[in-house]
Structure 1
Amino acid sequence: MPVIPRSVRFTAKGENVIVFGLESGMMMCMTAAAGAISWTKMLKSGVGNIALSPDEKWLLVDNLAKGFDLYQYPHSSPADSFAIPRADCCVQEAAFLEDESAFASGSDHGKIYIFSLKNTSQCLQVLKQGGKKTMIQVVDACSTGESHLVASGTSEKKSTVFIWEKTIEGHGRQQSGGCSVLTLLVILNVVSILAAVLWASGIRVRGLYIPYGSNIFL
């Protein structure tokens, strides 16, 4: 393969494998069964990281320079761009939120950015985790019947994993004062994935519930 693969994803219920090139910005579709190339396209930029929406309609690409570009998959021209300040040339991760109506991304300065995908390029909230030089390169998200959850991990010697929660309107916490079993299992699953990535460096993992309501600006 003439390019350096940066990300790979299964699509079409496992029938295809999409390969994304690091510096080239190549997006190549191959059949999973035979490895035959179905098509190849060139994105606008190199690829630091990608996030593909669960319905495979939208693709977020870390463009390694100014933030993230949003593509209507599998098109190769961006539908929108989201500027995120960047001091160092490091890859960032993003995750779709709330039925693909928003997304969260990390940064190289201790902040998680939440952008709306309904209102063009609008930054809904900036969450703070760490100092001005804190690298946040691991982000994941999920939703339960009661809340939306974002998990973020720092890349430090004493790294932390934070869980941010936004209660779904009309679904408050149970009067018992604790999470439902389903919510707890989802939280533990997200944290375990992030912890596995960072565990080898002897990190410290901590859970924290902080509402990230979309009408709050920090």
Structure 2
Amino acid sequence: MLFYGTITGFLISWRQVPVVPVLQIRDRAPTGHQGREGFREIFCKRLAQPSEVTALAFDTTSNRLAVCNYNSSVQIYTLASSAKPCKTFAVNIANFIPKTVHFGAMRGNERELLVFGLHDGKMCASHLNPYILTTRFSRTLTGSSEIDSSSEPWEIGVHIGDAAVDTRRMTVCIDDTEHGAILYRLDDHQRVKTFPVPVTQAKRPRQVRFLDDSRAIVIGSDHGIVYIFDRRTGDIIDKLAVRGESWVQTLATMDCGVPTIFLAKSGEDSGRNDIMIWRKTAEHRFGSGLSETVIALFQVSMLLASLAFAYQNSELALTLDAHATPPPPPGHCSTAHPPLCAIGVRSQAVKAVSASGAAQREQENGIA
């Protein structure tokens, strides 16, 4: 499924279908090539109080879609089996322009919905049955769509260009259009760290995202550079250059096996505008293969030395045990060493026969 909003307030959804025209728009003639997988438009509806759709978010757990527009409207749709959205909730937040929306953490049986303001820098947190809405100062929305202003306000005090939420670590990274990315804790609203991004042309919104299991923070700029910061230290890990010195607002990240960044220039610009894909690669230093081989040989040598030492100690222990054990008495058969016992009895018998023969010969000599 693919959802997108338009500047005129339409919410449109497309479904991927096999062996159909690549693009087919309702009753119009099909376009594209036949016999290939493509997308078919299955839903197109203009939202209430139509205006530019500013943000979308989807929750895979509850199968619900959140939509915000420039007229301060926040709407939630449930996706039925037909994949056509069914509106379940709608509310207007006074004096508030939603810029971005995210589904947050689960709190008991309730799901948070975080909505971030644009020009006023508000972040409003609100309960709405299984949801919470958020702006800069926290307000609570109930299931009946009434606003409860009894909660303490959270005054961030910056212009929010974008926001990214890490529900596992309960943190949010906000694009401050003047200074850069700012990391906050959601539980106590404390600022954790600032990741400065220079402004060379104009203060513009820039998308910000977490990357590599939130080890890194990615943010665009107004001068054709995408910055990647280390979340813990705040150091710049890398700078991704986009052709020219254009505004880079559009970016997305994913961690499907390999951390990946999708980015493109924004605004009207001459020439082609490619969508670029960057992937994290393992760092191979010079001689790293040789060092790994040496380490492996050293480990094998240590293993062989340990086995040889254990073998020599076991031989020495057997030798000492054999010398320390006294011979068994005549006629005694040890079950521990039956062959040795049998040999000892036989030797004693031979000695006894030899002694009796010698005594008999002496007696015969005396008689003679």
Q: TM-score higher than 0.5 here?
A: yes
AA in 2 matched with 1:23: H
Equivalent residue for 2:111, pick from 15, 40, 62: 15
Q: CA deviation at 1:24?
A: 2.6
Are residues 75 and 24 of structure 1, via their aligned partners in 2, closer, same or farther at CA, if it must alter by over 3 Å?
farther
In the other structure, the counterpart of 1:135 is 247
Q: How does 1:57-206 map to 2 (within 5 A)?
A: 57-86=170-199, 87-119=201-233, 121-132=234-245, 134-145=246-257, 147-155=258-266, 156-157=268-269, 158-167=272-281
Query: What is the CA deviation profile of residues 92-145 of structure 1, one whole-angstrom value per residue up to 9, with x for unaligned ones?
Result: 0011011111111111111110000121x201111111112x111011111233
1:42 aligns with 2:155: yes
* 1:170-203 Cα shifts (integer Å, max 9, x gaps): 9xxxxxxxxxxxxxxxxxxxxxxxxxxxxxxxxx
The residue aligned with 1:206 is none
Give 1:166 shift: 1.0
> How high is the TM-score relative to the length of structure 2?
0.42
Larger radius of gyration: 2
What is the aligned partner in structure 1 of residue 91 from structure 2?
none
**What secondary structure does 1:3 align onto?**
coil
Superposition RMSD in Å: 2.2
TM-score by length of 1: 0.69
* Structure 2 letter corresponding to 1:160: D
Indicate conservation of the 8 Å contact 2:104/2:167, yes or no.
no
- The answer as to whether partners of 2:211 and 2:253 remain within 8 angstroms in 1 is yes
Contact 2:105-2:167 at 8 Å conserved across structures = no
Contact 1:11 1:56 in 2 (8 A): no
Give the aligned length. Answer: 167
Where in structure 2 are there 5+ consecutive unaligned residues? 1-93, 130-142, 285-368
Structure 1: runs of 5 or more not aligned:
171-218
Question: Could you say which structure has the higher helix fraction?
Answer: 2
1: CA distance, partners of 2:165 / 2:193: 15
Q: CA deviation at 1:169?
A: 7.1
How much does 1:162 deviate? Answer: 0.5
Cα offset for 1:72?
A: 1.2
**Alpha-carbon separation, structure 2, partners of 1:19 and 1:56:** 18
Conserved in 2, the CA contact under 8 Å of 1:44 and 1:77? no
